[in-house]
Amino acid sequence: MKKVLVTPKSFGLYKDQAFALLREQGYEPIENKLGRTLTVEEILELAGEEAVGIIVGIDPLPGFALAQFKQLKAISKYGMGMDNIDLIKAKELGIQVMNAAGTNHISVAELAITLMLTMARNITSVAAKVKGGKWERSIGYELTGKKLGLIGGGQIGREVAKRAIGLQMEVSIYDPFWQDTAFAEQYKIQIISELDILYQESDIISLHVPYLPETKEMIDQRALKRMKSTVMLINTSRGELVNEDDLYEALVNNQIYGAAQDVFSSEPPEADNKLIKLDNFILTSHIGAFTHESVERMVLYSTRNLLEMLNGIK
């Protein structure tokens, strides 16, 4: 059988049907049994020269690694973001690449809303105090009537918008590549043409853009200075979108109210990282797409995408 490397840690939760599909078509899956993200060296060792396909999570696939595969024909991304894959090199080598679009947008959107509510009501700090024997109240904010500024109008951004409208928030979207006026009119969403306007007017800002050279550290000292002192910053996209040193200074100096992220520039962060020690900073362990429903969808979609690229089977 031809070999297919499967790297995502959570793939095993729903692997039976997916592995059966692969074997029916003559492919033997090589499973990541380390329980963590693989290094480039581990990917090369596991895949060997025989692998014709890879189902990859957030594990790195740089150009120099792709060049070492002798028979690789297809890469199926387990999820949406493909910044861990050298797409230019893959195209140069004739390796097809597809992502599992439409599999995790609901889960990530629900987490973004959860982080907003958690921060607005100081849930983490209050719960920690109660567990520590302190029955103390902490005054919070309602989301009703607050202005939510979404940076990015893709699938996840739109799902967040719909849920925010259900919470009676005022929603605006900045995305120079998205002009879905029909969607905006249906949900009474304002399309913002200038990012600075969104920074200045929003009570909550939520990031929903991919990590690209032009989005790297887009939230920096300059951007933070343009935000309200009461703003809450939510990031469920990529840690690299935020300059973490600048964010730390803004939080320590009460320049903004708080920030909640599901992503970080280095995952996991060092135990002594100064940012994660702040009371007005929340960090979850990249759980945005980690729901039973989302994982099952990603397992099946990424497997079918790989077979489509290898065999033309949908």
Same fold, 2-103+292-311 and 105-283: yes
The 10s digit of each residue's pLDDT in 151-206 is: 999 999 999 999 999 999 999 999 999 888 999 999 999 999 999 999 999 999 99
CA distance 61 to 228: 39
Three-class SS string for 34-75? CCCCCCHHHHHHHHCCCEEEEEECCCCECHHHHCCCCCCCEE
The 10s digit of each residue's pLDDT in 272-300 is: 999 999 999 999 999 999 999 999 999 99
What pTM does this model have?
0.89
Average pLDDT, whole number, for the chain? Answer: 95
**217: alpha, beta or left? (left if phi > 0; alpha if psi -120 to 50):** left
Strand ranges in 208-280 using DSSP code E only, listed in sequence order:
232-235, 258-261
The 10s digit of each residue's pLDDT in 37-63 is: 999 999 999 998 889 999 999 999 999
Catalytic residues: 238, 267, 286
CATH superfamily, domain 105-283, is NAD(P)-binding Rossmann-like Domain (3.40.50.720)
The 10s digit of each residue's pLDDT in 224-251 is: 999 999 999 999 999 999 999 999 999 9
Cβ(248)–Cβ(220) below 8 Å: no
Domain 2-103+292-311 has what CATH class?
A: alpha beta
**Where along the chain do its domains lie?**
2-103+292-311, 105-283
CA distance 162 to 155: 11
